[in-house]
Amino acid sequence: MSVDAVGTARRGRGARKAQRQTRNVTMLPALKRKLPLTEPMTPDQIEKIDAASMDILENVGVQFRDDIALADWKRAGAKVVDEMVYLDRHLVRELIATIPETFTYNARNPANNLPFGRDHGMFIPMTGAPFLRDLDDVRRNPTLDDLANFHKLSHMLPAIHSSAHHIVEPYDHPISQRHLRITYSSMKHSDKTFMGMTTSPKNAEDVIEMCGLLFGDDFIDTHPVVTGNCNGNSPLVWDETMLGALRAFSRRNQPVLCSPFVLGGANTPASVPATVAQLNAEALSALAYTQVVRKGAPAIYGHYLSTVSMKSGAPMAGTPEISLMNFMIGQMARFYGVPWRTSNTLGGAKTFDAQAGYESAMTMNAVLMAGANYMWHSAGWNEAGMHCSTAKFIVDAEMCEMGYRMAEGINWTDFEAAMSAVPDVGPGGHYLGHPHTLENFQKAFFMPEMFDNNSIEQWQAEGSVEITERALIKARAMLNEYEEPKLDDGVNEALLDYIARREREIPAVDALNQDH
Amino acid sequence: MSVDAVGTARRGRGARKAQRQTRNVTMLPALKRKLPLTEPMTPDQIEKIDAASMDILENVGVQFRDDIALADWKRAGAKVVDEMVYLDRHLVRELIATIPETFTYNARNPANNLPFGRDHGMFIPMTGAPFLRDLDDVRRNPTLDDLANFHKLSHMLPAIHSSAHHIVEPYDHPISQRHLRITYSSMKHSDKTFMGMTTSPKNAEDVIEMCGLLFGDDFIDTHPVVTGNCNGNSPLVWDETMLGALRAFSRRNQPVLCSPFVLGGANTPASVPATVAQLNAEALSALAYTQVVRKGAPAIYGHYLSTVSMKSGAPMAGTPEISLMNFMIGQMARFYGVPWRTSNTLGGAKTFDAQAGYESAMTMNAVLMAGANYMWHSAGWNEAGMHCSTAKFIVDAEMCEMGYRMAEGINWTDFEAAMSAVPDVGPGGHYLGHPHTLENFQKAFFMPEMFDNNSIEQWQAEGSVEITERALIKARAMLNEYEEPKLDDGVNEALLDYIARREREIPAVDALNQDH
């Protein structure tokens, strides 16, 4: 596209954008689903999965590679042999019973607080990309400025409910101190909810300290304000790093995603229900452990879920079995009365192409119909998580808006009024000028901004702007219009002081030594 | 991509393809759904839509712009005023009660016969594109050879259940005679089911005559062998051309899709449930008319369904309201006990880009979860139907395979065997070498051929082949390997004689005079 064409497109977009500004700077409330969920398992089949998982926990056991966790488990009455923990099903049920089924996620702007659990859902951007495709679609290592841009976009995109944490890995800051700057960036650039780093127990403790500075120590002890993720090593292993981070969060009453990392067929059996049964056992073991650490602490049934290609060993996304497993896992989480996290727009495409579109939409549909509460990786994910695409970030976020509208279900409120237009218009007429249409069109039918539905002639006349460029034009315009939701001066100073002190204490390990 | 890179990719594809040859030349049986459907309406709400539609039929009326239909309706007991027909709800219910809820679609190869209706579904390629994107992704007017290529691909793609009819409009043949060559191409290049032209009553009669030659006149009078489509002009109008074609099919006991052409908000009220109520009234009026023409003739509840952009008037696809309306319409069709046609992978993208992927997958999910029986436009549709993309045709067909696998539901058959692998492997192990994995992987987890899930390094080393080119490489390879399922010599001769005679009788009107 020529520079002139971009200019024209920008002006066109600009005009359109101005018209929709209100929507673009207002966060949608937490999704409250009204569509019936897809529940492919009968109650008997749910119990079959439950029984198979409990058999695993009792007889195969789970490895907790962490001395503190092993001691905790002994005290809690589990059978512990070396690093193996065998959990009786009654103990598991008793422990998970104290996990809250619902709670409120608190944001520093209380208008952005979110009810969570049961039929509420929230969209959270992707995490942890070692590369980005930037505002010019160039693939490179990210910086703190790039991360800030994603936090700003998250703040402005209406269906995105969280600024998350390291959406991209900022390579321009030493890895050992990075968690401090990432957390500060999440807190500073958005007043929505966010996530906390769990890259080590110490890092997790820093996050919690910073949350204390932002919200007040007393407040956070009784209010969930941040989310930590604890990945399991499937099959059936939890390691010291993750368990230490889990404790840092659970001790302070902050929600933890208990997430087995499933590569279906590689670290699970080659069977959809057997994969779910193993994943379920793994999730239950960590969920139960959160309650050993602190009874009543919020915890979220999680997983990273893919199937692997037998040809290459690569993770796949958007496949039918991932949809089926999402439906099933949703049923299991509801069976246990625990909120549920899954992954949204996953995919393995190298560019923002048709593959990326198919993969993301297949996954989003499954996740919505499965009833997920915490829909992580909802924007930007591409190349199996190796890069966050700025263009895809924008389009995914609009897809989340569309998914949100679908999951809200049918609007019957003006049905009678709408029906009265039918005799007015009559056979062979048209509705475009009818008063009911003029009044209701905007809210009756969603008009995606990122999908071009014009004729090819008009599209060509406007410079043949492809979807990647359309999305990047929007991203640049949004960043130009971004207004920072300022932190309180005292809080800001306290956070910066804390970071400065910790950066003096923590030896700077060069990011470039890190192995990706 | 360089020529060398294509060569390498082809060899790679070739090897992979050989391995999967069996799958690629075997048609999947008719989909038999086991996943629960998405049914957002309560029984009360279904009755509300039904009542609103019946009110329209009784009080607003439907325009039948056709003297024969008006006379038929008078005889059937309807109130007729000029071109307006007012249908009493009892008459409507009585008429549609004789539409078969299920039947078998007969193909010339009986192995490709398809049970149809209730929980059975079939995928049919797109129809009527005035342009194609060809085997080199060039956008141009199609020829009979291009159409033949799509019929050949339809024949070979496992999830495609029909060769349809004018997937693309063959511009190299006079428009007045085109239906004969199109029908012959469908019959000749594939022994799956197909569709019949309804571009005029006479053309429809030619199709039926040719079906008589292919299957035998007696056979077709008692066996559905072809599908005709009858588009309505929403709101509430059926025209002479479509009604005449409908009669040609219904008289000879061949199924007709009764399809209001809905541009939500332009020719319907700006309300999801009110749009469904109007569409439902329109579909019912045509369904009822099929039974006036011949009691017991198969007929299919249909529609073309989009919402329009208030900015441009262009049809949109993949929007949340289209999904919701599909869910609702599925419920209405089942309420009346009539099989249901909807449109699958619609979209407005100009190229085979991320927009095309999102739109297609959003629609496919809705259509599958809504329980559609006749999933038309399941491959190739792009640019609001203005072109059929060869690349998208291939990828859509693989998406249909994936949707098919999802809709089939969970495979529990080897659950116990799969679970017994868990203690074998144990914590920290892996399943890749386990006998259960080796035996079951291929069928446990679908491996899409058109999605590239390799690392970016490997993808680049193989020439950075994009999805469009990957799909075109596959299309070329398939066409090279195509084997014609020969027609019986006598039948072939009879068909060619018929075409020759009709081409002498019908004045050749030049295609170039046609207005697109």
Q: What is the distance between the alpha carbons of residues A129 and A170, in angstroms, rounded to a whole number?
A: 9
Beta bridge partners of A140: A132
Beta bridge partners of B86: B79
State the sign of the Cα–Cα–Cα–Cα dihedral A188, A193, A197, A202.
Answer: positive
The answer to whether A258 and A299 have CB atoms below 8 angstroms apart is yes
Q: How far is B41 from chain A, CA to nearest CA, in Å? A: 8
What integer pLDDT is reported at residue B310 of this predicted model?
82
Q: How far is B429 from chain A, CA to nearest CA, in Å? A: 7
**Helix B201-215 × helix B178-189 angle, to 10°:** 30
Full domain range(s) for residue B401: 97-407
Q: What is the distance between the alpha carbons of residues B18 and B36, in angstroms, rounded to a whole number?
A: 36
Q: How far is B337 from chain A, CA to nearest CA, in Å? A: 22
Q: What is the distance between the alpha carbons of residues A227 and A164, in angstroms, rounded to a whole number?
A: 9
- Residues from chain B that touch A56, judged by Cβ atoms under 8 A, are 422
Domain-located, residue A492: no
The answer to whether A164 and A189 have CB atoms below 8 angstroms apart is no
- Phi, psi of B168, rounded to the nearest 5 degrees: -125, 155
Using CA atoms, how far residue A112 sits from A208, A454, B110, B222, in Å, is 20, 36, 61, 64
What integer pLDDT is reported at residue B25 of this predicted model?
56
Q: How far is A51 from chain B, CA to nearest CA, in Å? A: 11
Domain-located, residue A39: no
Q: Quick check: B515 pLDDT over 70?
A: no
> What would the pLDDT profile of B144-186 be if each residue is shown by its tens digit?
999 999 999 999 999 999 999 999 999 999 999 999 999 999 9
Question: 3-state DSSP helix/strand/coil percent for chain A, to nearest 5?
Answer: 50, 15, 35
Partner B contacted by A358 (CB < 8 A): yes
Domain-located, residue B515: no
Can you tell me the mean pLDDT for B412-435?
96
Q: How far is B61 from chain A, CA to nearest CA, in Å? A: 8
The answer to whether B137 and B472 have CB atoms below 8 angstroms apart is yes
Partner A contacted by B42 (CB < 8 A): no
Which of A358, A398, A405, A454 would you mutate first to test chain B, the one with the most B CBs within 10 A?
Answer: A358
What integer pLDDT is reported at residue B311 of this predicted model?
81
* Three-state secondary structure call for residue A170: coil
Do the chains contact at A410 and B60, CB–CB below 8 Å? no
Domain-located, residue B26: no
Domain-located, residue B57: no
ipTM: 0.94
Chain A residue with the nearest C-alpha to that of B391:
A354
Residue with tokens 């999802």: B406
Do the chains contact at A353 and B354, CB–CB below 8 Å? yes
Give me A183's structure tokens. 């957390």
Across A109-123, B2-16, B63-77, B173-187, least confident range: B2-16
Residue with tokens 């709400």: B45
Domain-located, residue B493: no
Beta bridge partners of B120: B32, B117
Q: What is the distance between the alpha carbons of residues A171 and A174, in angstroms, rounded to a whole number?
A: 7
Do the chains contact at B314 and A40, CB–CB below 8 Å? no
Q: What is the distance between the alpha carbons of residues A50 and A255, in angstroms, rounded to a whole number?
A: 24
The answer to whether A279 and A285 have CB atoms below 8 angstroms apart is no
What integer pLDDT is reported at residue B509 of this predicted model?
83
The partner residue sitting opposite B267, judged by closest CB among A237, A399, A430, is A430
Q: What is the DSSP letter of A488?
A: P
Nearest of A171, A203, A151, A61 to residue A379 by alpha carbon: A151
Chain A residue with the nearest C-alpha to that of B415:
A274
Chain A residue with the nearest C-alpha to that of B448:
A319
Nearest of A84, A61, A118 to residue A282 by alpha carbon: A61
Indicate the average pLDDT of chain A. Answer: 94
**Helix A354-370 × helix A320-336 angle, to 10°:** 20
Residue with tokens 């072939």: B492
Q: What percent of chain B shows pLDDT beyond 70?
A: 94
Residues 123-142 of A with CB under 8 A from B: 139
Nearest of B419, B381, B320 to residue A53 by alpha carbon: B419
Q: What percent of chain B shows pLDDT beyond 90?
A: 92
Do the chains contact at B421 and A453, CB–CB below 8 Å? no
Do the chains contact at B361 and A318, CB–CB below 8 Å? yes
Can you tell me the mean pLDDT for A424-445?
94
What integer pLDDT is reported at residue B237 of this predicted model?
98
Residues 237-266 of A with CB under 8 A from B: 237, 264-266
Say how many domains are in chain A.
Answer: 1
What integer pLDDT is reported at residue B8 of this predicted model?
40
- Residues from chain B that touch A34, judged by Cβ atoms under 8 A, are 40
Q: How far is B237 from chain A, CA to nearest CA, in Å? A: 6
Please tell me whether the peptide bond between A507 and the residue prior to it is cis, using omega within 30 degrees of 0.
no
What integer pLDDT is reported at residue B510 of this predicted model?
67
* pTM of the predicted structure, to 2 decimals: 0.94
Q: How far is B294 from chain A, CA to nearest CA, in Å? A: 26
Residues 289-328 of A with CB under 8 A from B: 307-321, 323-324, 327-328
The partner residue sitting opposite A270, judged by closest CB among B328, B395, B437, is B437
Q: What is the distance between the alpha carbons of residues A105 and A112, in angstroms, rounded to a whole number?
A: 9
Q: Quick check: B399 pLDDT over 50?
A: yes
Q: What percent of chain A shows pLDDT beyond 70?
A: 94
Using CA atoms, how far residue B248 sits from B194, B200, B253, B293, B496, in Å, is 17, 10, 9, 9, 21
SS (H, E, C) B238-273: EEHHHHHHHHHHHHCCCCEEEEEEEEECCCCCCCHH
- Phi, psi of A39, rounded to the nearest 5 degrees: -125, 90
Do the chains contact at B60 and A427, CB–CB below 8 Å? yes
> What would the pLDDT profile of A64-123 be if each residue is shown by its tens digit?
999 999 999 999 999 999 999 999 999 999 999 999 999 999 999 999 999 999 999 999
Q: What is the distance between the alpha carbons of residues B157 and B141, in angstroms, rounded to a whole number?
A: 24
Q: What is the distance between the alpha carbons of residues B320 and B342, in angstroms, rounded to a whole number?
A: 16
Partner B contacted by A175 (CB < 8 A): no
- Residues from chain A that touch B40, judged by Cβ atoms under 8 A, are 34-36, 409-410
Do the chains contact at B271 and A440, CB–CB below 8 Å? yes
SS (H, E, C) A194-217: EEECCCCHHHHHHHHHHHHHHHCH
**Which positions ≥6 away from A440 have C-beta within 8 Å?**
A414, A418, B270, B271
Q: Quick check: B315 pLDDT over 90?
A: yes
Which of A271, A346, A424 would you mutate first to test chain B, the one with the most B CBs within 10 A?
Answer: A271
What integer pLDDT is reported at residue A310 of this predicted model?
82
The partner residue sitting opposite A60, judged by closest CB among B360, B411, B422, is B422
What integer pLDDT is reported at residue B26 of this predicted model?
83
Residue with tokens 């949204």: A344
Q: What is the distance between the alpha carbons of residues B368 and B375, in angstroms, rounded to a whole number?
A: 9
Q: What is the distance between the alpha carbons of residues A290 and A254, in angstroms, rounded to a whole number?
A: 10
Q: What is the distance between the alpha carbons of residues B163 and B141, in angstroms, rounded to a whole number?
A: 20
Can you tell me the mean pLDDT for A166-174?
97
Beta bridge partners of A263: A306
* Three-state secondary structure call for residue A63: strand
What integer pLDDT is reported at residue A510 of this predicted model?
66
- Phi, psi of B449, rounded to the nearest 5 degrees: -80, -30
> What would the pLDDT profile of B96-109 be if each residue is shown by its tens digit?
999 999 999 999 99
Nearest of B388, B491, B357, B493 to residue B153 by alpha carbon: B388
Residues 403-432 of A with CB under 8 A from B: 403-406, 409-412, 414-415, 417-419, 421-423, 425-432
What integer pLDDT is reported at residue B360 of this predicted model?
97
- Residues from chain A that touch B285, judged by Cβ atoms under 8 A, are none
Give me B348's structure tokens. 């407005």
Domain-located, residue A416: no
Q: Quick check: A514 pLDDT over 90?
A: no
Confidence of residue A25 (pLDDT cuts 50, 70, 90): low
- Residues from chain A that touch B328, judged by Cβ atoms under 8 A, are 410
Partner A contacted by B24 (CB < 8 A): no
The partner residue sitting opposite A446, judged by closest CB among B84, B271, B321, is B321
Can you tell me the mean pLDDT for A123-136?
98
What integer pLDDT is reported at residue A18 of this predicted model?
40
Domain-located, residue B255: yes
- Residues from chain A that touch B409, judged by Cβ atoms under 8 A, are 40, 324
Using CA atoms, how far residue A247 sits from A204, A212, A297, in Å, is 9, 16, 10
What integer pLDDT is reported at residue A313 of this predicted model?
86
Confidence of residue B13 (pLDDT cuts 50, 70, 90): very low
Q: What is the distance between the alpha carbons of residues B337 and A423, in angstroms, rounded to a whole number?
A: 28
**Helix A354-370 × helix A390-408 angle, to 10°:** 30
Can you tell me the mean pLDDT for A435-440?
95
Nearest of A177, A243, A242, A240 to residue A210 by alpha carbon: A177
> What would the pLDDT profile of B205-239 be if each residue is shown by its tens digit?
999 999 999 999 999 999 999 999 999 999 999 99
Residues 145-174 of A with CB under 8 A from B: none
Chain A residue with the nearest C-alpha to that of B401:
A320
Give me B115's structure tokens. 């049970």
**Which positions ≥6 away from B230 have C-beta within 8 Å?**
B198, B238, B242, B243, B245, B246, B256, B257, B258, B259, B286, B302
CA atoms within 13 A on the CB side of A130: 9
Q: How far is A430 from chain B, CA to nearest CA, in Å? A: 5
CATH, residue A260: 3.20.20.480
Which of A410, A411, A516 would you mutate first to test chain B, the one with the most B CBs within 10 A?
Answer: A410
Partner A contacted by B15 (CB < 8 A): no
Indicate the average pLDDT of chain B. Answer: 94
Chain A residue with the nearest C-alpha to that of B405:
A320
- Residues from chain A that touch B321, judged by Cβ atoms under 8 A, are 405, 444-446
The answer to whether B285 and B85 have CB atoms below 8 angstroms apart is yes
- Cα radius of gyration (chain A): 24
What integer pLDDT is reported at residue A26 of this predicted model?
83
Q: Which amino acid makes up residue B16?
A: R
Identify the helix (H) or strand (E) that includes residue B459.
Answer: helix B456-461
